[in-house]
Amino acid sequence: MQEVDLTIIGGGLVGASIAWGLARSGVKPLVLDGSDLDLRASRANFALVWVQGKGLHAPHYALWSAASANRWPGMAAALLQDSGVDVGLVQEGGFTFALSDEELTAMRADMEYIAIETAGRAPNFEILDGAETKSRVPHLGSEVVGSVYSVADGHVNALRLFHALHIAMDRKGVSYRPNHKVELVDPVADGFILKGEGFSILSRKIVLAAGLDNERLAPMVGLACPLKRSKGQVLVTEKCKPFLSCLSPTIRQTDEGGIMIGDSEETDTTSIAASSDISAVLASRAIRIFPALAGLNLVRSWTGFRVKTADGVPIYDQSERYPGAFLVACHSGVTLAANHSLVVAPQIAASRLDDDLSAFSAGRFHAQQTA
């Protein structure tokens, strides 16, 4: 049986960010990944490095997101150096637009709660009325009644990010094996036996970064990863000259010219098919915000299942029963990529998650159940 020091199960954005970060810390892990037809959130996302509104009633998550956004410029520079790929990071702030007074009131309440819960340490934000929003955002529709603006938000080219991470980890000596789905993790005295079709590997340490499959794998090493179903749909228009200078969580112009419109949330389906009803709602709302979008053709639409934990907050955990086993599961794997590479990976390399991450342990779910 092959023996290795550390194996990451899953080569999506989370697994790749950690693999690259480990390699930068001098540890060269093995990455066992699934196959192209797996449900992969990393191929479906909206590419935001987004902080605004994150971490309501979870101030540690609000601050963790903000810290990752702050680390992003350093990570993008290091990735460029290691991969030669520019991931197109732009962090010039973002607007969440409201189409009714009720929406604006709810948005304001959430942002003010986050500010209180983080004792003012979350990034600054402004609540703008319709006139102020229009003065800052060209091409805005008359139905927009206001917005939340925060300077902390940005975006990247997410597919290029994924590509860059895989090039960088390869150049740093990470060994990547696609089509190696781990079916079983068997804890033994000197590590974990990872079994799949045609392979059996003994690994002294493991990191579960298998996206949706973490829910199945985690209990095999004494951990828990409760997820809830969350399907998102994204639309993309034909490419056009740059005209959307501002960023929002539902409408953005990519560095290649297409406008991405999203994203919806469905919690009651396992079908990956895109729905024309949802496309219609997304498109209509986008046109109310930016009427000029009505003149563009949609060229693509896709869906993806978010890796969303039961409370929406990431899980970072290390098994008490089998201390060589780590678990990382989160929505917002683009936003958090800098934390995963630059903070979590070195801690895994040192075989211990810092106490700062204890609030993210899945133990919180048992505590809620027994309360």
Ligand X SMILES: Cc1cc2nc3c(=O)[nH]c(=O)nc-3n(C[C@H](O)[C@H](O)[C@H](O)COP(=O)(O)OP(=O)(O)OC[C@H]3O[C@@H](n4cnc5c(N)ncnc54)[C@H](O)[C@@H]3O)c2cc1C
- 87 lines the binding site for ligand X (CB under 6 A): no
- 4 lines the binding site for ligand X (CB under 6 A): no
3-class DSSP state for residue 153? coil
Based on CB atoms, which residue is closest to ligand X, 130 or 331? 331
- 53 lines the binding site for ligand X (CB under 6 A): no
Angle between helices 13-24 and 59-83 (to 10 degrees): 70
- 7 lines the binding site for ligand X (CB under 6 A): no
Based on CB atoms, which residue is closest to ligand X, 197 or 355? 197
If we measure between CA atoms, which residue out of 342, 3, 352, 49 comes closest to residue 168? 342
Q: Quick one: tokens of 226?
A: 């409760």
Calpha distance 39→25 (Å, rounded)? 30
Answer for which of 333, 340, 341, 349 binds ligand X (CB under 6 A) is 333
- 32 lines the binding site for ligand X (CB under 6 A): yes
Q: Which residues make Cβ contacts (< 8 Å) with residue 368, sequence separation at least 6? A: none
Calpha distance 331→347 (Å, rounded)? 20
- 29 lines the binding site for ligand X (CB under 6 A): no
Phi and psi at residue 26, in whole multiples of 5°? 95, 5
Residue nearest to ligand X (CB): 12
Q: Please, what is the minimum distance in Å from the beta carbon of residue 56 to ligand X?
A: 17
Answer for which of 307, 327, 343, 362 binds ligand X (CB under 6 A) is 307
Classify residue 240 as exposed, middle or buried by CB count within 10 Å of its CB (0-12, 13-18, 19+). middle
Answer for which of 330, 338, 342, 357 binds ligand X (CB under 6 A) is 330
- 52 lines the binding site for ligand X (CB under 6 A): no
Q: Please, what is the minimum distance in Å from the beta carbon of residue 184 to ligand X?
A: 9
Q: Which stretch binds ligand X (CB under 6 A): 10-18, 124-132, 269-277, 316-324?
A: 10-18
- 62 lines the binding site for ligand X (CB under 6 A): no
Q: Quick one: tokens of 356?
A: 């700062």
- 34 lines the binding site for ligand X (CB under 6 A): yes
Q: Which residue has the tokens 């690259």?
A: 20
Q: Which residues make Cβ contacts (< 8 Å) with residue 288, sequence separation at least 6? A: 99, 141, 143, 144
If we measure between CA atoms, which residue out of 166, 186, 164 comes closest to residue 178? 166
Based on CB atoms, which residue is closest to ligand X, 39 or 292? 39
- 117 lines the binding site for ligand X (CB under 6 A): no
Rg of the chain taking only CA atoms, in angstroms: 21
Q: Please, what is the minimum distance in Å from the beta carbon of residue 303 to ligand X?
A: 7
Answer for which of 41, 62, 128, 221 binds ligand X (CB under 6 A) is 41
Based on CB atoms, which residue is closest to ligand X, 146 or 211? 211
